[in-house]
């Protein structure tokens, strides 16, 4: 079985710093694998543990440094990975990103059985790219997947978490799955994994390599654009009290509760 | 041709149109005024259940037109069926704007439609406007709520999913009967490759109540242990509210992820939100900042949650809550 995992390098949003111009400071901010993609990797590796002859390939689209997250994934047990990197990809919105990634998959692993993505990325949080990739590849997609139950006879069965409960769904392979945070934690790198990660050859592919027209990627291929970015208004702080007098505290709270 | 704003009229598992549709309808009235009084339409995809009530609800919300795609095969949501029905309709009526509630269903459906139509889709918006050029200006939080971005789209339809419970429903009851266009969609060419095998409903206690609770007592890492969450539950019980949790508390195993509030959990808008032992990371704040009144209890006087709070108390929830619970009990009994 051939599994492709799409991963993204994101700034650690717990550690946002601002420039003087109210833009997010990217330099010096640590980049991590998008946390939801870590569950996508773990889910793929769990399948590799169970199903013989399974290979897991990670791919990312980003600047050259994104190579680091591919190596990180290899240190966890992923077999190989590659980076879609080209100045022409810059400025891609979700439509252009999905187009670029799906073209990359068709170029490199056209006979995939499963593509696994994280449901959200913590920076953009659009949750649209996985579905876009599936649509371009013309394969079924299941979003909000909590657990992969089984792969059998050319079908994958999953547990999906929605607002009012859990659904059990079955999709014909090849398919795309978008993973939520799972009930299991992503594994850590292991010693041989580090060695593999160092040794691995991580290839870079440009728009010419994967044969995508510059009209379909980057700024040119993106129907949406940001017209304005700003910091959310901070709420006017209310009253702050500091006292050991529990009665006084309770009365204050009751005042608010009683409107 | 008159301009048209199309809204996806999502129905729940019982076949009833959900609230976010009414929120979108209200927002669409404002957009319509700035867009040559564009027609406001709904697309309801249904197996026919609850149809009269849904028509009534959509009329009251002020829709001018209601497209009803009806077939016995449409009982359960299917990405493949529903997306194709929407695409076929959009190709026919060519709306300027297509809005969808940012529910799990909406966020599943929308990107499939936008990708096939090669148009832009702005995710999980918190406000909508029409700019001076007549474009949809959709504003959304990014970077975990640290930054707001207003996004425009140069293709049609301009699509957006909109976060539920952020925009307000209208107080008005519109009287005008909408034009109803009921049809049987052609499903014959759709290759359905995903099948729903089973559905396990959440226990009512957790999920439903937190979405609808008027008072939420929420705990973070500072509630430390089971005893801490028991205190929260006691307070919620005497107030007739529900317990919520931050991601930190969920990760510590103190609370179930179904009651997690914040970016990767639920968005709640209760009348009163009591945050106990929650530091107030932006990821949490985006899920609760719409609450009418926020009370925060935290030992750290520099905790960012106090920036959100109408009433902030620097102190230990383990000492404060028992006294408060007792006082409310006395009052309830008196």
Give A-chain residues touching B131 at CB under 8 angstroms. 227
Locate the chain B residue with the closest alpha carbon to A166. B200
**pLDDT band for position A14 (cuts 50, 70, 90):** low
Residue B264's contacts (CB-CB under 8 Å, 6 or more residues apart) are A120, A181, B247, B283
Residue A196 has pLDDT above 50, yes or no: yes
* Mean pLDDT within A63-72: 94
Q: How far apart are CA B78 and CA A145, in angstroms?
A: 15
**pLDDT band for position B143 (cuts 50, 70, 90):** confident
DSSP B228: H
User: To the nearest whole angstrom, how far is the Cα of B56 from the nearest Cα of chain A?
Assistant: 25
DSSP B260: B
pLDDT tens digits, residue range B24-47? 999 999 999 999 999 999 999 999
User: To the nearest whole angstrom, how far is the Cα of B222 from the nearest Cα of chain A?
Assistant: 18
Q: A227 and B320 in contact by Cβ < 8 A?
A: no
Average pLDDT score, chain A? 92
DSSP reduced 3-state for B146: coil
- Candidate from A185-199, B60-74, B147-161, B193-207 with smallest mean pLDDT: B193-207
ipTM, two decimals: 0.91
Q: Which residue has the higher pLDDT, B68 or A25?
A: B68
Give B-chain residues touching A142 at CB under 8 angstroms. 194
In angstroms, the Cα distances linking B237 to B203, B232, B326, B328, B329 are: 17, 9, 12, 10, 10
Say if B263 is an interface residue toward chain A (CB within 8 Å): yes
pTM, rounded to two decimals: 0.86
**pLDDT band for position A221 (cuts 50, 70, 90):** very high
Q: B328 and A254 in contact by Cβ < 8 A?
A: yes
* Chain centroid to CA A24: 20
Residue B150 has pLDDT above 50, yes or no: yes
Instruction: Output the pLDDT for position B207.
Output: 45
Residue B202 has pLDDT above 80, yes or no: no
DSSP B11: B
Q: How far apart are CA A9 and CA A70, in angstroms?
A: 9
Give B-chain residues touching A168 at CB under 8 angstroms. 196-200
pLDDT > 90: percent of chain A: 81
Residue A25 has pLDDT above 70, yes or no: no
pLDDT tens digits, residue range B221-246? 999 999 999 999 999 999 999 999 99
Q: How far apart are CA A231 and CA A253, in angstroms?
A: 31
Residue B22 has pLDDT above 90, yes or no: yes
Phi (first) and psi of residue B191, to 5 degrees: -90, 100
**pLDDT band for position B206 (cuts 50, 70, 90):** very low
What fold characterizes domain A2-228?
Rossmann fold (3.40.50)
Instruction: Output the pLDDT for position A12.
Output: 79
Residue A206 has pLDDT above 50, yes or no: yes
Dig out the tokens for A64 from the structure.
């050259």
pLDDT tens digits, residue range B60-69? 999 999 999 9
Q: How far apart are CA A203 and CA A196, in angstroms?
A: 15
pLDDT tens digits, residue range A38-55? 999 999 999 999 999 999
Q: How far apart are CA A63 and CA B137, in angstroms?
A: 29
Nearest to A242 among B154, B289, B301 (CB): B301
Q: B307 and A140 in contact by Cβ < 8 A?
A: no
Please tell me the class of the B4-183 domain: alpha beta
pLDDT tens digits, residue range A148-168? 999 999 999 999 999 889 999
Q: B310 and A239 in contact by Cβ < 8 A?
A: yes
**pLDDT band for position A23 (cuts 50, 70, 90):** low
* Mean pLDDT within A234-258: 87
The domain segmentation of chain A, as residue ranges, is: 2-228
- Candidate from A127-131, B118-122, B129-133, B147-151 with smallest mean pLDDT: B147-151
Q: What angle do CA A213, B110, B62 make, to 5 degrees?
A: 135
Nearest to A126 among B116, B123, B327 (CB): B123
Instruction: Output the pLDDT for position A125.
Output: 83
Question: 3-state SS of chain A?
Answer: CEEEEECCEEECHHHCCECCCCCECCCCCCEEECHHHHHHHHHHHHHHHHCCCCEEEEEEECCHHHHHHHHHHHHHCCCEEEEECCHHHCCCCHHHHHHHHHHHHHHHCCCCCEEEEECCCCCCCCCCHHHHHHHHHCCCEEEEEEEEEEEECCEEEEEEEECCEEEEEEEECCEEEEECCCCCCCCCCCHHHHHHHHHCCCEEECHHHHCCCHHHCCCCCCCEEEEEEECCCCCCCCEEEECCCHHHHHHHHHHHHCC
**pLDDT band for position B333 (cuts 50, 70, 90):** confident
The domain segmentation of chain B, as residue ranges, is: 4-183, 207-333
Q: What angle do CA A142, A147, A149 make, to 5 degrees?
A: 95
Residue B53 has pLDDT above 60, yes or no: yes
CATH number of this structure's domain B207-333: 3.40.50.1220
């Amino acid at each position: 079985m051939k599994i492709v995992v799409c991963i993204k390098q994101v700034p650690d949003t717990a550690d946002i710093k601002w420039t003087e111009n109210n833009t997010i400071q990217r330099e010096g901010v640590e980049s991590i694998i998008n946390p939801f993609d870590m569950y996508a990797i773990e889910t793929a590796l769990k399948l590799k543990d169970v199903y013989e002859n399974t290979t897991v390939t990670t791919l990312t689209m980003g600047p050259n440094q994104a190579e680091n997250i591919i190596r990180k994934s290899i240190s966890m047990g992923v077999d190989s990975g590659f980076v879609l990197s080209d100045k022409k990809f810059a400025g891609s919105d979700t439509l252009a990103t999905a187009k670029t990634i799906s073209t990359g998959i068709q170029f490199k692993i056209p006979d995939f059985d499963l593509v696994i993505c994280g449901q959200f990325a913590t920076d953009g949080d659009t949750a649209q790219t996985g579905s876009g990739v599936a649509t371009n590849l013309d394969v079924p997609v299941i979003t909000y997947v909590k657990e992969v139950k089984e792969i059998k006879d050319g079908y994958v069965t999953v547990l999906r978490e929605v607002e009012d409960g859990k659904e059990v769904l079955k999709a014909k392979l090849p398919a795309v799955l978008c993973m939520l945070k799972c009930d299991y934690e992503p594994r850590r790198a292991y010693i041989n994994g580090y060695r593999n990660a160092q040794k691995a050859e991580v290839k870079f592919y440009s728009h010419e390599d994967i044969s995508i027209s510059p009209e379909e990627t980057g700024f040119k291929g993106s129907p949406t654009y940001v017209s304005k970015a700003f910091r959310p208004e901070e709420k006017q702080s209310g009253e702050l009290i500091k006292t050991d007098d529990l009665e006084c505290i309770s009365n204050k709270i009751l005042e608010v509760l009683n409107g | 041709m008159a301009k048209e704003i199309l809204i996806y009229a999502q129905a729940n598992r019982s076949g009833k149109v959900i609230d976010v549709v009414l929120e979108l309808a209200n927002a669409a009235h404002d957009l319509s005024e700035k867009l040559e009084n564009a027609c406001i339409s709904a697309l309801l995809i249904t197996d026919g259940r609850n149809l009269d009530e849904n028509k009534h609800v959509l009329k009251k919300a002020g829709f001018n037109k209601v497209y009803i795609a009806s077939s016995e095969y449409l009982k359960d949501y299917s990405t493949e069926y529903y997306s194709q029905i929407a695409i076929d309709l959009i190709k026919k009526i060519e709306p300027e704007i297509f809005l969808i509630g940012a529910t799990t269903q909406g966020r599943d459906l929308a990107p499939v439609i936008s990708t096939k139509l090669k148009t832009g889709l702005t995710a999980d918006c918190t406000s909508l406007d029409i700019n001076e050029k007549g474009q949809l200006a959709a504003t959304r939080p990014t970077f975990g709520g640290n930054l707001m971005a207003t996004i425009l789209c140069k293709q049609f339809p301009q699509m957006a999913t909109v976060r539920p419970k952020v925009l307000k429903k209208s107080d008005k009851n519109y009287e005008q009967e909408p034009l109803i266009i009921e049809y049987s969609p052609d499903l014959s060419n759709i290759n359905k490759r995903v099948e729903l095998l089973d559905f396990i409903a959440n226990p009512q206690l957790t999920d439903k109540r937190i979405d609808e609770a008027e008072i939420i007592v929420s705990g973070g890492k500072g509630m430390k242990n089971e005893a801490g969450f028991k205190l929260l539950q006691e307070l919620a019980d005497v107030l007739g509210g529900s317990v919520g949790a931050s991601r930190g508390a969920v990760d510590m195993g103190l609370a179930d992820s179904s009651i997690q509030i914040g970016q990767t959990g639920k968005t709640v808008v209760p009348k009163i939100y009591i945050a106990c032992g929650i530091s107030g990371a932006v990821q949490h704040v985006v899920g609760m900042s719409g609450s009418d009144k926020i009370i925060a209890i935290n030992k750290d006087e520099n905790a960012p949650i106090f920036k959100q709070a109408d009433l902030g108390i620097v102190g230990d929830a383990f000492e404060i809550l028992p006294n408060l619970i007792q006082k409310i009990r006395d009052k309830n009994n008196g």
